[in-house]
Structure 1
C-alpha cells in the first residue's frame, strides 16, 4: 500500500483527507511562503505547492507526497494569509458583498514522478457588518488562512456561496487529487484506510 504524506500544517486539509478516507502522515515543509512572489495568483499557488511538496519528498522517495497552497485573487491583487488583525480587518472591509477567485495549487510526487495542477473556485462573500468583522478578526481564525477566511469554521457564515469544488476553498480539492493520483497509476480507493476497503 502506498503511504500518503501531507506536506502541510493545515488542519483543514488534514480533516478533508481524513473525511475522504485517507489518513496521511503530516510533515511540515518549512518553506518560507513570503519569499515567493508572482503577478499570477494561480501560478503562485502552484509554485508554493510545488516547493512544499519537493521539500518533503526529497527525504520520502517511496511515499506519495501531497503539497498544497492557496491564495485569493481579488480586484487585481493576491491575498495570502493576513498575518495580523489590522490586515485581516481591512481585507474583510474590502471583501464584504463582493467575490474573489480562490486558487489552490496541488503538487504530488512519488519517486521521480511529479504532477502539478491548480484548482479554482469563485467565493461570494456576505455583506458583513463592521461589528461582525471585529468579532471575526478577534477570534483569530482569519489571521493564518489564505484570503483571511474559512469555509469550514467560524467564517462559514460569512460566505454566501461558492462556484466550483468547495474542497478547493478548504485548501485541497479531493476530486482533483483523484485525477492526479491516476497519473501515477494509482486508484484513489487504494489509498483509503483499510477500514474503508472491502476484503480482497
Structure 2
C-alpha cells in the first residue's frame, strides 16, 4: 500500500525540487528545502481543502519555504556587507557545473543567468509559468495572488529578462571588437 508521503513525493518531487533550485540557485540547498516542504505538507495535509490542485498547493508551500530561506540569507548578507568586496562580486561567476552548461545551449544559459536578474517574485512567476508550465490561474493559486498580479509580474519579469539579455549581447559585441 502506497503511503501518502510516497504518493506525494513520486508525483511532485521533480516539480518542487526544480522550483526550489531556480529560486535558491543551489542544488544541495534545494534538496534540503524540498525536505522542509514535505515536512510542512505532511503536517498540514489534513487541512488541505482541495480548493486548488495538490500540485499548486504544494508549490505554494515550496514558495513560502524558499521565501523564508531567502529572507534568512538576506539577513546574513546584511551582516557581512561592510567587509564584502564588491569588485570581486562583479567578477565572480556563479555559473552552473560544466556538465550543466554542456546540456544547455548557450542561449538557455543566458536566460538562466537573466532569470537571476529578476526579483524573487518575478523569478517565481517565470519558473511556475514557463518551466513548470502552470496556467495563469494555477500560478495565481500557487502564489496566492490575483491573476492580474501574476500577469503584471510576468510582464515585468519578461521585460527585466529582455533587458538583461540585451545588456549581455552588447557586452559580447564589445568584447568581440
Q: Please classify the TM superposition score into its range, dividing by the shorter chain length.
A: 0.3 to 0.5
Higher helix share: 2
| TM-score normalized with structure 1 length | 0.30
Higher strand share: 1
